[in-house]
Amino acid sequence: MISEQNRFEDWLRAAPKAELHLHLDGTLGAGRLLQLADKNNVPLPYNTLQELEAAYHFENLQSFLDLYYLGASVLREEEDFYALMMDYLLRCRKNNIVHTEIMIEPQTYLPNGIDFPVFMAGFQRAVMEARSRWGQSVQLILSFLRHLPESAALDVLDKAENYRDDFVAIGLASSEQGNPPQKFTELYRRARERGYRLTAHAGEEGPPAFIRSALEDLTVERIDHGVRCLEDDTLVEVLRERRIPLTVCPLSNVRLCVFPTMKQHNILQLLARGLVVTVNSDDPAYFGGYLNDNFIALHRALNLNRSQALQMLRNGFEASFLATAEKSERLKKLNDFAEAS
Ligand code: HPA
Ligand SMILES: [Zn+2]
């Protein structure tokens, strides 16, 4: 007999979804990482899958980032970037992620002498193939590394002008502690002027003041993570009133010790406070699960119910950078799915 629990989990898997917070380098699985290291002769301190996987125990964001950047250093040739993107887009298909907004971080590749034409050719080829094969909807976000100086980000923004049509938005990732949003005020001013949509990581490990700074100094339209906003009631009210979406990443937050366990995650409190909360996977190869795994983990630990799940699924499309007509079309399909199931 199929239990209620299994039926709901199947419903979660089948529901059409948007993913808005996903670092492409965070989808590099251990197997492919070692294969590419071997192919490209990139030395690693890990020789076997077991040794590498044993390193996937993080104490905080920085301990993860050290491994994440080392992992991404094995990507060297156009075909590597194609394979990385295609692997993830196939995962989208499996997870019923019908629309995805993917963060690309050129500053991870440039120091290895790999420039835009190489990685963009691989990414574009995979995206075009997925669009034509099964109608996958994809937008790319040009994501900057906040531990590097703003001047470096400005150079990359200029380089990206040749690929302006490939990117819908800019974002800001990497080490939050010590790198407040206001460090990048000029970058966001220029990107806004050039017509990019704006998002930034804030309030993952950093304090609520960083979320405020992202809103006020960077004028972002949505916040990546933002879970620490609950420490500041006035800020919660601003986020609620302005309907600023939060792209929350439950498995990531637990693996990076933002919350000790999934039972202690505040996502349902954020939702109950009337915030536009979405569910995302962040770096699924490192954090133990893709988008469906995140929804299922919420159901198992927090008793996520159908109406809460449906609200967050709707928020995913609502909070996307899709044009209004396409958003409505996606929302209608989600409503049809909900009514039929
Ligand atoms: O969760 C994250 N936070 C900041 N930077 C990142 N880069 C990849 N994942 C993350
Ligand atoms: Zn992230």
Ligand 1 neighbour 107 (Cβ under 6 A): no
Q: Give tens-digit pLDDT for 68-95.
A: 999 999 999 999 999 999 999 999 999 9
SS3 (DSSP) at 178: coil
Ligand 1 neighbour 204 (Cβ under 6 A): yes
Flag whether pLDDT at 1 surpasses 90.
no
Q: What letter does residue 11 receive in the DSSP assignment? A: H
Kindly give the distance from the C-alpha atom of residue 252 to the centroid of ligand 2, in angstroms, as a whole number.
8
The answer to whether 282 and 254 have CB atoms below 8 angstroms apart is no
d(CA 107, CA 100): 21
Count, residues in the chain: 341
List residues bridging with 100 in a β-sheet: 19, 138
Supply the pLDDT for residue 3.
87
Q: What are the structure tokens assigned to 82, written together?
A: 């194609």
d(CA 164, CA 176): 27
Q: Give tens-digit pLDDT for 170-185.
A: 999 999 999 999 999 9
The answer to whether 218 and 184 have CB atoms below 8 angstroms apart is yes
Q: Residues 133, 138, 139, CA angle at the centre, nearest 5°? A: 155
Q: What are the structure tokens assigned to 89, written together?
A: 């887009």
Q: What are the structure tokens assigned to 1, written together?
A: 């007999």
Q: What letter does residue 128 receive in the DSSP assignment? A: H
Ion ligand 2: residues, CB < 5 A: 282
d(CA 214, CA 199): 8
Confidence of residue 208 (pLDDT cuts 50, 70, 90): very high
What is the reported pTM?
0.98
Flag whether pLDDT at 44 surpasses 80.
yes
Compute the average pLDDT of residues 205-214: 98
State the sign of the Cα–Cα–Cα–Cα dihedral 60, 63, 64, 69: positive
Q: Give tens-digit pLDDT for 233-277.
A: 999 999 999 999 999 999 999 999 999 999 999 999 999 999 999
For domain 4-336, is the CATH number 3.20.20.140? yes
Give the largest CA-CA distance in the chain: 61
Which of 64, 211, 253 gets mutated to test ligand 1 (max ligand atoms within 8 A of its CB)? 64
